[in-house]
Amino acid sequence: MEYWGISDADVINNYISAQPYNVSNWKASIGIQKWISLYTSGTEAWAEWRRLDQPVLEPSPNGVVSSIPTKMPYPQSERTNNATSLGAVSSNPINITAKVWWDVN
């Protein structure tokens, strides 16, 4: 908070007190705070959201896709030069809403 110019100790302590760690819902406790801390690093915030599924996000009603992207599409060069191997791991290499193999949530 000090990095962003908030130096009032009462404000900082009140924020910390209002955000208690919840051991039974640790993903939310950690994920939401990490999401906030990565505000200026969009790609990293997105990667952390994929890892913890927190915070709960809703896609924009005006978005291009109906759900939040969960992977980057494979580049055209990969689809052209390595189609056989790519086909073995992905049935649709340009689908940005399909989950990757390790994403079981």
CB hemisphere CA count around 51 (13 angstroms): 12
pLDDT(99) > 90 = no
pLDDT digits (tens, 9 = 90+) for 59-94: 989 988 888 888 888 889 988 999 888 888 777 778
pLDDT band at 57, cuts 50/70/90? very high
pLDDT digits (tens, 9 = 90+) for 3-39: 999 999 999 999 999 999 999 999 999 999 999 999 8
Confidence (pLDDT) at 64: 86
Provide the domain limits for residue 10. 1-55
User: Could you tell me if 3 and 43 lie in one domain?
Assistant: yes
Confidence (pLDDT) at 73: 85
Total domains in the fold of the chain: 2
Measured distance CA(24)–CA(95) in Å, rounded: 34
User: Could you tell me if 35 and 76 lie in one domain?
Assistant: no
User: Could you tell me if 1 and 23 lie in one domain?
Assistant: yes
